[in-house]
Amino acid sequence: MILAVTAVVASVLAAVAVPSIAASPPPPGPFGGFTIDGAIPDAGAGVYTDPDGGASELGPKNGSPTKVGVVHKATPAMLDFTNPNSQTDLKTVWMNTGKDAGGDTWLYFAWERDSNTGSGQIMFEFDKKPAPAACDYTGVSQTSPATPGATALINSCNPWANRAAGDFVIVWDISGGSTTIIKRTFSGVAPNLTLDAGVTLAAADAKAAFSGDLFKGEAAVNLTSTVFPPVKTSCFTVANVIPGTVTGNSDTADYKDVVLNGFADQYISDCGSVKVTKATDPIGQSGSFPVTLSRSGGGAIDFVPHQPTTQTLVNDKGEKTFPDLLAANDYQLAENVPAGWDLVSVVCDGTDVTGGTFSVVAGEEVDCVVNNLKRAPALSLVKTATPKTYSKVGDVIGYSYAVKNTGNVAFAGPVTVVDDKTTATCPAGGLAVGATKTCTASYTIT
């Protein structure tokens, strides 16, 4: 007896988790929603630790090539193991961005040092270009003795090498309990750059405070009013942050300590960004998944202008970023679904936006996850005879055929059972995942 089952495959949804990020912005409010009161850090700030205490840690060698104003010109090996004194040895830094009620973007930064006495200058540098590819700190021990990874950094990395005009530093002289914040900006044509004398930020644009024990400090700076161009013809996006301490607010000052970290969860910009991550079910699957970002109203997504633009996610957990986007509330993300897959959902910042739109806000990154289910259609068939035996010609045997959808996609139907001894009748319609339909037939013994 020969049996066959046929059906048409349709979509089914599956739940896939959405990844989170280290830093989360506060609700809009004064000073970007940050409370600058010495209770450090503010909730939601990204946390980044640095070797401290008696540890010898990676930093720039002291010497004329590594002064603040010219360190970007220094040729590797310009890093080495150093041991900052306690008042300039950073232990932890925190960063975040937020909005005030008017929509201005504010930067929050905070620090912790080993000592609560002694002079020093906190200096955070913000560069628009990323650090060189050789400066990949991921998984590298930055304390002595040198590991192979640290040796590679020493021999090939200058974290400041891509410094350019328009990059800036925030300087905080913490001597004597000062809470004055100064912004200094680079001008010229790289590598021949000049660091200006600096501007003391007004109380409306910056606020700073120390912790009660003086080991920590925190500040918020209005980037919209002090850094971002008032008339935009391009995006001002920071791709490299280098926190540190220096001997003074001077071009010829020496670095005492620096925090070498990719700060991957920080997004500092007057434009928006969309990061897209692939999630496959089952997990760990391979494939190429083109995704297209556009605006439903037909507007440009950036200053180039692109309208729309496509990137390809490769394999489960593959990521792509659409950077430097214009703020708008009509963005949409679509996928050219490859054969053998179903699009389950597009989830952006925790909201299902499949087939719909979402907003991109200046100074914020939208995290989207495109969830796909790999089609695995399958059916099982159980045939039952009643009665199970016969005794003479003319006896009638009834048959039931239990057809179950054991795959991960729905069958649209019709479900058909082909039996070479009889004709089976099946209920109309298809089969949801896990559902069963029972077909019937009879056969007269001859």
- Determine which helix (DSSP H) or strand (DSSP E) holds 390, and give its type and residue range: none
State pTM to two decimals.
0.78
Order of strands, sheet of 319-325, starting from the edge strand that comes earlier in the sequence: 319-325, 272-281, 365-374, 341-348, 351-352
- In sequence order, the 6+-apart residues with CB closer than 8 A to the CB of 201 are 181, 182, 183, 221, 226
DSSP 154: H
CATH class label, 272-374: mainly beta
pLDDT at 4: 39
The confidence band for 22, taking pLDDT boundaries of 50, 70 and 90, is low
pLDDT band at 61 (very low <50, low <70, confident <90, very high): very high
Longest dimension (CA), the chain: 110
pLDDT for 5 equals 38
Question: Average pLDDT, stretch 187-195?
Answer: 97
3-state secondary structure of 353: coil
Name the phi and psi angles at 368, rounded to 5: -115, 145
Q: Which two tokens stand for residue 339?
A: 């054969």
pLDDT recorded at residue 53: 84
- Cα(153)–Cα(80) distance, integer angstroms: 9
User: Would you say 176 and 192 are in contact if contact means Cβ atoms under 8 Å apart?
Assistant: no
Name the H helices within 40-142: none
Q: Which residue has the tokens 């099946």?
A: 426
User: Does 35 score more than 80 pLDDT?
Assistant: yes
What pLDDT, on a 0 to 100 scale, did the predictor assign at position 175? 83
Contact of 216 with 40, CB cutoff 8 Å: yes
pLDDT mean across residues, the chain:
92
Average of per-residue pLDDT across 404-422:
95
pLDDT confidence of 177, banded at 50, 70, 90? confident
Q: Are strands 272-281 and 365-374 parallel, antiparallel or unpaired?
A: parallel
Check pLDDT > 70 for residue 7.
no
Residue pair 112/92 in contact by the 8 Å Cβ criterion: yes
User: What is the band of 55 on the pLDDT scale with cuts at 50, 70, 90?
Assistant: confident
